[in-house]
Structure formats: C-alpha cells, structure tokens
Amino acid sequence: MTPIERAWYRGADWLVLLAPLEALYRHVVKRRRQAYRDGRRDVWQPPVPVIVVGNLSVGGTGKSPLVAWLVRWLRDNGWRPGIVSRGYGGKAESYPLAVTSTTPVAQSGDEPLMLAQQTGAPVAVDPDRPQAARWLLEQLQCDILIADDGLQHYALGRALELVVVDGVRGFGNRHCLPRGPLREPLGRLAEVDALIANGGVASLAGTDGEGVPRFSMTLAPTAWRHLASGARYPIEPLPFAVDVPVVALAGIGHPQRFFDTLDTLGVPHQGVAFGDHHRYSIADLPDAPTIVVMTAKDAVKCAGFADERCWVLDVEATPEPAFVTWWAEQVDGWSRSWIDALPAGAERPMTRS
C-alpha cells in the first residue's frame, strides 16, 4: 500500500489540506457526467444488454472474479457473452485487440489476459470501449456484454451497473481524489443497480446507495496451479513443501487480502507487495531456495520467466444465493423484454442458441 493509500484508509488529518483539489476534482467529474446526460457527448447504446462491473474507489475490490462468474453463469444459461476492457497496462499496435489465452500481456494488460484464460470467452480491449463492443457484436456475434471496470466510462451505454465494494476496507475516508480513494462521490451509489461487498456488507453504511439491493460475495480458493507446467492440484494437501521459505508476491489492488488468504490456508510466508498492475521481471523473483506463490493476475505477467518454484493460487467468486436469484431475474427480464425496449430502427440483437 502506498503512503497516500495508507492515509486514505487510516483517516490521516493532513488530508484536509487537499480539500480544494478534491472540490475541483468533484466539479470536473460532475461536468463530465452531465455532458453525457444532456447529449453534449455521445453515448453508444449497443443492441444487446451491457452489464458494467465497476467500483467507486481506486484499487482492487474483486471486480474481475465477479466478471468471470457472470460470464460462466451466462454461458451455462445459453448466452454468448463477450468481455469489454480498457486493457490498463497494455499497449497494442492497433485496436480493438482480440485477447486470447496466448496474447502477450504487454499488449493486452493483465486483467483481460487473465479473464481470457479463466473463462475462454471472447475478450476485446480498446481505449474506445464502444469500438470494442462493436467488434464483439459484429465479429463474434456475442449477444450480451460484460464491461470490466467500466463504471466511469459513460460513452458505452449499459443495461445494468454492478458496483463491487471491498468488504474490509470499504470506502476509506469517504472522500474523492486526491483527498480520498473515491473516483466519484458516494451519492453515485444511489444510481446503480446493485452493490456487492467482497467479504461482507458491514462496510456499507445505511446511507450508501440507500434502497439499492446489496449482496455479499467471497473469493474462494479453488486450486493450486504450477505456473511452469500448468498442472492443477487440490487446495489440500499443499502440493509443495514448506520446509523452505515461502515468498508470496502480490501486485494487486489490495495485497493484504491475498496474504490473509494464505494465512487461512495455513501457508507460512513472507509477503512482498507491489503496486497494482506491477510489471514483473525475473529480478522480482526471490533467490533460491524458496517457494514462490502468487495470484492469477500476477501469474500472467510472470509466466514467461517462471521457474519450477512458482505456484499460483486460483480463486473464484462465490456470490451469496440471494444475488444469484436476483441476477437470474434480471437476465430473465432481458430475455423477454430487451428487444421490445430498443429504440425504433435500432439493430436487433442476435438470437440466443
């Protein structure tokens, strides 16, 4: 965690000095969103449902595991989902970039490549998200789209907004950047369709998105994966010996969550935290003899130089049953009424198989 992040989540008094900058930031955010609302900026509404999975605060909350869960559920229920991403941290020669399990991470960014590997679903990366969405519809006939981390990208229309909240850290000092971790004021929560707390709902005050459905989810470890060979092993017993030091690498939004999970699994370790989306090199691997464990997001950036010591802890989102029921109701509503709700003359979505 960077010094500014520690200040946000510990409520450091000196942050009040940033109040003028926060006020300016909030003004810019409000004007930008209003520009999309009143038509001064274009919004492209695809002819299929778009589900935005995002968060209000800077840093990781568990969005990508929820995206993977939604994609698997949709595919199991007859839909052809596609994933739209900005591709943070990647740079391609041209866009849209179709991401497969073998796309170089330097082109795609870590999260799109991870999602492509975990789900096998079509993933399109483009700084222009509507362009990525068009490509998925025209080239791959997707009939529903999931926008990963797209809450603040208003140029892409949406049918549903899901906000994932860190159930432990919550919203920190509840201020906007740079005084706090929020990308938008907390009042924005009242306009979304559901709040999902990763790790419980205790961090949500009653006034946070009052009246908006709120649910919980957990990230459940599912397997150990040997990075060099790809072989998968059950969580228990451990597939590696712990009679040598175990070093845990985490370049994610909230590294402590990974380290806490290892504690729960009884894996003694030395935690090494990097910044979110850290670009790994072989120099980041500790000296032997050690066992190295990491997250799936870290693994896509270490695969090219991983040695026999490297292991990945794979996890999956497990939403509470109430969310699964609520989600199924939303999807059923689209199945029956989405086409009828489209503007006159709009292109019709593909028929589900």
Shared domain for 169 and 88, answered yes or no, is yes
From CA 163, how far away is CA 192, in angstroms rounded?
7
Tens digit of pLDDT at every position of the chain (353 positions): 788 989 999 999 999 999 999 999 999 999 999 999 999 999 999 999 999 999 999 887 889 999 999 999 999 999 999 999 998 889 999 999 999 999 999 999 999 999 999 999 999 999 999 999 999 999 999 999 999 988 999 999 999 999 999 988 889 999 999 999 999 999 999 999 999 999 866 667 777 888 999 999 999 999 999 999 999 999 999 999 888 899 999 999 889 999 999 999 999 999 999 988 899 999 999 998 899 999 999 999 999 999 999 999 999 999 999 999 999 999 988 766 655 555 555 544 443 43
Q: What is the pTM of this model?
A: 0.91
Distant-in-sequence, close-in-space partners of 11: CB < 8 Å, separation ≥ 6 = 172, 173
Q: What is the pLDDT of residue 203?
A: 64
Structure token digits, residue 336 = 């029956």
From CA 100, how far away is CA 76, in angstroms rounded?
20
Query: Which of 197, 216, 193 shows the shortest CA–CA distance to 333?
Result: 193
From CA 265, how far away is CA 253, in angstroms rounded?
21
Shared domain for 207 and 233, answered yes or no, is no
Q: How many domains does the chain have?
A: 2
Q: What is the DSSP string of 290-333?
A: -EEEEEHHHHHHHTTT--TTEEEEEEEEEE-HHHHHHHHHHHHH
Bridge partners for 219 per DSSP = 317
- Whichever domain contains 132, its CATH number is 3.40.50
Shared domain for 195 and 229, answered yes or no, is no
Q: Where in the sequence is the domain holding 133, given as residue range(s)?
A: 3-212+320-341
- What sign for the dihedral angle of Cα 23, 24, 27, 32? negative
Q: Could you identify the residue written with the tokens 């979110």? A: 276
Long-range contacts of 69-78 (CB under 8 A, 24+ apart): 69/316, 69/317, 69/318, 69/319, 70/146, 70/327, 71/115, 71/119, 71/121, 71/146, 72/119, 73/324, 73/327, 74/144, 74/146, 74/331, 75/119, 75/121, 77/331, 78/352, 78/353
Shared domain for 282 and 331, answered yes or no, is no
Classify residue 271 by burial, with Cβ atoms within 10 Å: 0-12, 13-18, 19+: middle
Angle (deg, nearest 10), helices 110-119 and 63-76: 30
Shared domain for 81 and 208, answered yes or no, is yes
Shared domain for 263 and 156, answered yes or no, is no
| Neighbouring C-beta atoms of residue 148, cutoff 10 Å | 27
